[in-house]
A and B are shown apart, each in its own frame.
Chain A
Amino acid sequence: GAVVSQHPSWVICKSGTSVKIECRSLDFQATTMFWYRQFPKQSLMLMATSNEGSKATYEQGVEKDKFLINHASLTLSTLTVTSAHPEDSSFYICSELAVSTDTQYFGPGTRLTVL
């Protein structure tokens, strides 16, 4: 299957700062990548669909001005959490969709802690 990396694997930041998370497809050109958020013992919640070369599509209730997504190339999508607050602390995971097999390949996730 495809290999997806995320960086950083964890980050601790102060309230009010911005944090950028990178998601790279290492062996696959991903036209579409997804960003999820997962709280402890909860299911994965889709935040947005990131399309290469166009604006991301956000799910209902996700603030696009707070969670900035950029998909500048077929192998890189970034999620920037702007003006982070403690309630943004969560596990953020990206994935890419292998359309031919309807399968998602996930990155290892990024643990964000906002103090």
Chain B
Amino acid sequence: SQKIEQNSEALNIQEGKTATLTCNYTNYSPAYLQWYRQDPGRGPVFLLLIRENEKEKRKERLKVTFDTTLKQSLFHITASQPADSATYLCALDITHASGGSYIPTFGRGTSLIVHP
């Protein structure tokens, strides 16, 4: 069966450092991979999407890489700030059970804590 793995241990870093979060998957050949941010008691917020033919994508302080050979995506936040503290979810598209539209399936998420 398909599986998405994100580190369940919280990542603690100091303000100003680069945070790197990992998303590994098995038994998938996704067309794209997404990263979302979720704050406690809130719905996820879309951050970045990277397609299978893209190696890297950037948006402001965020950078995502996608290695389809390793079946891994890395999510980087440079010059991290305490406001970046949240849970970050990766999601991969998966064909709906009824054979319909592609719908992202989410990993459990990794909690990032940026200390001032």
Contacts and interface: CB of A to CB of B under 8 A. Distances in A.
Bind each other: yes
Interface of A: 1, 4, 6, 32, 34, 41-44, 46, 49, 57, 59-60, 91, 93, 95, 97, 99, 101-109, 111
A95 B43 contact: yes
Given A34-B103, A43-B106, A106 B97 contact: no
Contacts of A105: 46
Nearest to B31: A102
B44 A44 contact: yes
Interface residues of B, number: 27
B106 A1 contact: no
A103 B103 contact: no
Given A43-B107, A44-B89, A49 B44 contact: no
Given A44-B106, A46-B105, A102 B93 contact: yes
Q: Is the contact region of chain B dominated by helix, strand, or loop, or is it mixed?
A: strand
A42 B108 contact: yes
Nearest to A93: B43
A43 B89 CA distance: 8
A97 B100 CA distance: 13
